Amino acid sequence: MIASSPVAASRDIGPRPVFCVIEHAHRDVAVAEAACAGRFTLAGQTVEAGVEPDWRDAALPPDAEWRIEWTKFYFGLDLAHAYAQTGDERFLRTWERLVGSFLRQLGPGEGREDTSDVAARRVQNWIYAWAMFAAAPGFPGLHGDLEAELLAGIRAHAAYIREHSLYRAGF
C-alpha cells in the first residue's frame, strides 16, 4: 500500500512487536538516568561522554571491549524500560538523541571496532528499544526526522552486515 500523504506514511512506519529475549537484563532505571546525563558505565569504567557524544573521537577507555559494548546500545533498552515505567519523555528523547547522533556521525563499519557482528547487535538493540518505546502507553512517535533516519540507518547497517558477515567471508 502506498500512503497518500507524508502524515499517512508516518503512521505506517514503526516497529512491529518483537520478543526481546534480553529485556529482563536491561531494566535498570539508574542506567537510563546515567545515559540521560551522558554517563556510561561498562566493564567497571564510567565515561562522561556527554548527552550527544562524539561517537568517532570521544576520549574512551583504551579497552576495545568497552568501546564495542558502548556502540551496541544496550543502554537503549534501559531507556525504553524507564520510559515505559514512568512515561517521562526525557528517556525517549535521550534515546533519540543518542541514536540520531550516532547515525549522523558514523556509518556502519566506520567505528574503530565496528565489525558486522557489532553492527548487527546495534541494529537489534535499536529495533528492540524502538519497539519497547512504541508499545508504551502515550508514545508520541519519534521526534522530527528520526524515523526516516533510523530506517535508512537500519537499511545501511543491514547491507553492511550482509556484505561483511563471517558466513559470507567463508568462515
pLDDT digits (tens, 9 = 90+) for 112-153: 789 999 999 999 999 999 999 999 999 999 999 999 999 999
Please report whether residue 145 resides in a domain.
yes
Please report whether residue 51 resides in a domain.
yes
Domain with 58 in it: 18-164
Q: The C-alpha cell of 141 is what?
A: 512517535
Which residues on adjacent β-strands are paired with residue 39?
Answer: 48
| Helix, strand, coil in percent for the chain, rounding step 5 | 55, 5, 40
The answer to whether the pTM exceeds 0.75 is: yes
Please report whether residue 99 resides in a domain.
yes
Letter for the amino acid at 33? E
Q: Is pLDDT of 7 > 50?
A: no
Instruction: Count CB-CB contacts under 10 A for residue 95.
Output: 29
Q: For the chain, how many structural domains are there in total?
A: 1
